[in-house]
Structure 1
Amino acid sequence: MDAITHCKIHPAVGIARVGNSPDEFFIGPELPYPTPAPAGGYKDGAGRLKRQAARFRLFGYNAAGDVVQELTADDAQITWTAHLANRKAAWYNFELAMDIPEAKPCARRNARVSGPDRARLVIDPGSRSIAGKGQSGPAFQFDTGQFFGKPIYLGELRTDEAGHLLVLGGRGASAPAEPGHTAYTFANNDGWHDDVADGPVSAQVTIGGQDVPVEPAWVVTAPPNYAPDIVTFQTMYDLIVDSFQNSWLPPVPMPSFTDHVLPILQQLSDAQWVNF
């Protein structure tokens, strides 16, 4: 077997989703297109939404950049670390994409909070680390961050039976710091918080007593996907490929109807059943 010189965490960006079921969850899709519904469906016995966990795996690469094998807890000593935070209340208003000129006048959220007090708008419990198989528990929860002194739970880490990392998000909580602050718009409600978050995922890997460098990943905890069988007609992957083809990613020499055209037509057709 080729020598493993470095590792990468896949997926590079993992998507977890919040849900109000206190204990039940399912593993999110690990293929480009919708997968069968999880056992028991998307809700628990009380009708509450299960959380979608993002599962991360480690792959070992040789010096040429080729995959040698997937690494599990049976192959290496692996310690996972993730850091979730929610900085929305201290960021800019949700109005326009921040990378276009029209967004320059965009105001800060909670503009009346200034100086050192703005740090109280940031929900940041710090990082958590986990190792081994089938691990879970209070020590791995992101539950020490606060919003104006109010503790906010952002999620937790677990491992499955092979030692893969599972990141679970919050429980779909959104509320004001103080009673009486009524929500008045779809977004940008001053004094309010939610429990979505994002942050880096890293791992420390030791094989045969030697530490191996690891390329990190990122995790995003998002709202529930209420139409899991529908693929939007323009995916995030499409946007990334389009952006990179203007720089270092070479375009496809000859587009394939099956691979490049038919999926878009199918996705447009499926979109008639949902309300964007």
Structure 2
Amino acid sequence: MSEREQTADTTIARAAIYPAIGIARVGNSESDYFLAPEVADPPPEAPGFYRDPTGALKRQGVRFRIYGLNAAGTPVAELTAENAEIRWTVHLANKKSAWYQFQIALDIPEAASAPPSWLRNMTISDRASLLIDPGARHIVGSNAGGGPEHTFDTGKFLGKTVYLGELRTDEQGRLIVLGGRGKSASYNGARAVTFANNEGWHDDTADGPVTAEVVYAGQGLQTDPAWVVIAPPNYAPQQKSVRTMWDLMRDVAISAGMLPKPPRPSFDRDIRPIFERLTQLQWVN
């Protein structure tokens, strides 16, 4: 053991939820689901893995863990139901129908001169009726879930109840968030005419904060929160976009001075992955 390892601070002073942004995905299977990858490059799954015996698409659940950190913010150990008291809280909501229309991606140069976006469903004056917001749900313990208190099924869109997902825990008390079942609909039978801005329509994607109350060794720990996003299915799970969300957020953090700028780029870490993604995307282009 090195001198650094011998003198490392192993006193847990606070905690943090990981991943900081977790991605779940909708699916129309009534009961089956799988967990989102927890490594950058997972091996491919066997053919048929993503569908249940009926052919329905499984939901992708996302698992959140809590790590105890020392005073410097370095992870010391994972905190689970075996060594800590944990009460998870998640608040899912879908507020797109009360927000602005999608006109153009905002991270491209053309966005600087784009015309203003209009509100969706402008003719509906009761804007709150467009918000699918069932409120927060809580869960504690190991292998928990399945009850109405863990289910996001009380939010409504123009009076119609919409199921957004549910909470579960695994055998160690880690949180699992499941999303909706891939349903979209119009409240008045109007036709969908575009991929994004259809008046009177809703879907069951959602997002929201993930927090936890943690007691370790008899002391409550300040715990950094996370965020969960319930996205559409990933029909090409082995493919990545040329620029990933990690690339974008790392660039934002370096530009803002929140991360140190590397003295020179790494070919293996920064350059080769771009060429690999570009090459692999030819199979889905």
Alignment of 1:120-139 (within 5 A): 120-137=129-146, 138-139=148-149
Choose which of 28, 31, 34 in structure 2 pairs with 1:26: 34
Counterpart Cα distance in 1 of 2:169 and 2:46: 18
Choose which of 66, 75, 96 in structure 2 pairs with 1:88: 96
1:64 aligns to 2:75 (yes or no): no
Q: Which moved more, 1:51-60 or 1:259-268?
A: 259-268
Alignment of 1:225-244 (within 5 A): 225-244=234-253
Alignment of 1:34-183 (within 5 A): 34-37=42-45, 41-98=49-106, 100-103=111-114, 105-114=116-125, 117-137=126-146, 138-178=148-188, 180-183=189-192
Mark the CA change 1:4 to 1:247 in structure 2 (over 3 Å): closer, same or farther: same
1:189 counterpart residue number: 198
Is the 8 Å Cα contact of residues 54 and 167 (structure 1) preserved in structure 2? yes
1:14 counterpart residue number: 22
Choose which of 263, 269, 274 in structure 2 pairs with 1:264: 274
SS of the residue aligned with 1:189? coil
Mark the CA change 1:96 to 1:4 in structure 2 (over 3 Å): closer, same or farther: same
Deviation at 1:3, TM superposition (A): 2.3
Alignment of 1:193-232 (within 5 A): 193-232=202-241
Mark the CA change 1:76 to 1:104 in structure 2 (over 3 Å): closer, same or farther: farther
TM normalised by structure 1 equals: 0.94
SS of the residue aligned with 2:152? coil
Letter in structure 2 aligned against 1:89: S
Counterpart Cα distance in 1 of 2:101 and 2:284: 27
Letter in structure 2 aligned against 1:58: I
Is the 8 Å Cα contact of residues 6 and 213 (structure 1) preserved in structure 2? yes
- Give the alignment's Cα RMSD to 1 decimal: 1.6
2:5 counterpart residue number: none
Deviation at 1:39, TM superposition (A): 9.5
SS of the residue aligned with 1:245? helix
Q: Which moved more, 1:145-154 or 1:241-250?
A: 241-250
Is the 8 Å Cα contact of residues 4 and 63 (structure 1) preserved in structure 2? yes
SS of the residue aligned with 2:76? strand
- How many residue pairs end up in the alignment? 272
Counterpart Cα distance in 1 of 2:11 and 2:208: 31
Counterpart Cα distance in 2 of 1:72 and 1:14: 18
TM normalised by structure 2 equals: 0.91
Counterpart Cα distance in 2 of 1:36 and 1:156: 27
Q: Which runs of 5+ in 2 are unaligned?
A: 1-8
Counterpart Cα distance in 2 of 1:13 and 1:189: 28
Deviation at 1:9, TM superposition (A): 0.2
**Aligned-residue identity in percent:** 54
SS of the residue aligned with 2:73? coil
Q: C-alpha offsets along residues 206-258 of structure 1, whole Å, 9 cap, x if unaligned?
A: 12322111010000000000000111111111111222222212222222222
Choose which of 238, 241, 265 in structure 2 pairs with 1:255: 265
Letter in structure 1 aligned against 2:65: R
Counterpart Cα distance in 2 of 1:141 and 1:39: 31
Deviation at 1:57, TM superposition (A): 0.2
Counterpart Cα distance in 1 of 2:54 and 2:141: 32
Mark the CA change 1:232 to 1:97 in structure 2 (over 3 Å): closer, same or farther: closer
Counterpart Cα distance in 2 of 1:7 and 1:27: 23
SS of the residue aligned with 1:268? helix
